[in-house]
Structure 1
Amino acid sequence: MKILGLSGSLRAGSHNAKLLRAAGDLLPPEAELVVFDGLKAIPPFDEDDEHTRPDAVQALWDAIADADAVLVATPEYNHSLPGQLKNAFDWLSRPLADSPLRNTPTAVIGTSTGLFGAVWAQAEARKVLAAIGARVLDRELPVGLADDAFHEQGHLSDEDQTLALAGILAELVGEAQQSLRPARAAS
């Protein structure tokens, strides 16, 4: 089973990329996390270009289409999700009926250097993903004070947060397995 990880942060030392790596370490052996690293190359959404997707957009489209589930880790910018992440979601929504996110099990987690752990950004991301048609888990993982939230090895420092992340991942994997069963029965 392939879970596509998507970090809403573009910076090299991203706490959200670190959170995705921590999630990958908690997945069961039958699941692998593949992190998409091309978000920075996606151009601004423009309806004039939606019928001929730019290569970077097509790469994200294909990566999601090839995945069994999606795990988004988002920081919070100005009490909302980062513009580049929202921009990518806009590209993925056109045309809506063909979106690779449609019916795809998806979870949203996040970390920020503030106290609240990107709670508002996670809520905004879930709202947008649901509008696109993703099967979004109604869960969140707010990891605040990100500078101190991880061990040197990359794992979360807080045991309760680790357990919560493991629970979200188990639910996401379960949703993805349910999606795979009808496809396997048909073949």
Structure 2
Amino acid sequence: MNPVNLIGICGSLRAEATNRRLLREAVRLFGDCRYHEADIRFPLYDADDEAETGVPDKVQDLAERIATADAVLISTPEYNKGPSGVLKNALDWISRVEGNPWKDKPVAVMSAAAGRAGGERAQMILRSFMVPFRPRILQGPEIHLAGSSKQFDETGSLTGEIYVRQLTALMEGLRAEIARG
């Protein structure tokens, strides 16, 4: 049997973003899989540019990867009480491709932020952004990694036992959702 194919989307562009670390920990806890982390450095969505040049190849590539993946992991930071603009821009661009790569796709959402709520508001808003795409978003356990810069050791592993348990449970839920078909 082929390993599960996962796509990760990090809402932060920083190379060492805690949301990127959180995605990598999720993949580690998920277990045997093929994993591709998306690059969402897309131009700002502009309908005039789209009309003139079409959907960028990078956007089309990610949409195709989402469509063929078994599941998607999304981790968002919280900027000014919402998801990052770069993540919203990526979702807007992906919505412009033919078809709907998200339809019925299992999606696990998580967040990491410096504040004590761990990006809870950003995650709630992100979930609402996903509604028109009609994916199968896992409802829990919710992962809101608070004080995120202090939650990883020097190897990039999560240090808080409660977060490890919750993230493990979320990945077990994702495996079950994938198996459900």
What TM-score comes out, normalization by structure 2 length? 0.90
- The offset of 1:32, in angstroms, is 3.2
Aligned equivalents of 2:22 and 2:31: distance in 1?
A: 17
What does residue range 8-27 of structure 1 map to in structure 2 within 5 Å?
8-27=11-30
Pick from 90, 93, 97 the counterpart of residue 91 of structure 1: 93
Aligned equivalents of 1:141 and 1:32: distance in 2?
A: 22
Q: Is the partner of 1:5 in helix, strand or coil? A: strand
- The offset of 1:77, in angstroms, is 0.5
* Structure 2: gaps spanning 5 or more residues: none
Aligned equivalents of 2:119 and 2:109: distance in 1?
A: 10
- The offset of 1:130, in angstroms, is 2.1
What does residue range 34-113 of structure 1 map to in structure 2 within 5 Å?
34-36=36-38, 38-40=39-41, 42-48=42-48, 49=50, 52-94=54-96, 98-113=99-114
Aligned equivalents of 2:172 and 2:35: distance in 1?
A: 13
Aligned equivalents of 1:55 and 1:28: distance in 2?
A: 31
Aligned equivalents of 1:67 and 1:169: distance in 2?
A: 15
Identical positions, percent: 35
RMSD over equivalenced CA pairs, Å: 1.6
The one-letter code of the counterpart of 1:79 is K
- The offset of 1:170, in angstroms, is 1.0
Q: Please, which moves more after superposition, 5-14 or 124-133?
A: 124-133
The one-letter code of the counterpart of 1:27 is F
Deviations 1:117-157 (Å, cap 9, x if unpaired)?
11011111111112211111112200011111011121111
Q: Is the partner of 1:62 in helix, strand or coil? A: helix
- The offset of 1:46, in angstroms, is 2.5
Aligned equivalents of 1:98 and 1:170: distance in 2?
A: 29
Q: Is the partner of 2:153 in helix, strand or coil? A: coil
The one-letter code of the counterpart of 1:101 is W
Contact 1:130–1:136 at 8 Å: present in 2 too? Answer: no
Aligned equivalents of 1:112 and 1:54: distance in 2?
A: 30
- The offset of 1:28, in angstroms, is 2.8
The one-letter code of the counterpart of 1:76 is E
Contact 2:60–2:94 at 8 Å: present in 1 too? Answer: no
What TM-score comes out, normalization by structure 1 length? 0.87
What number of residue pairs does the alignment pair up? 175
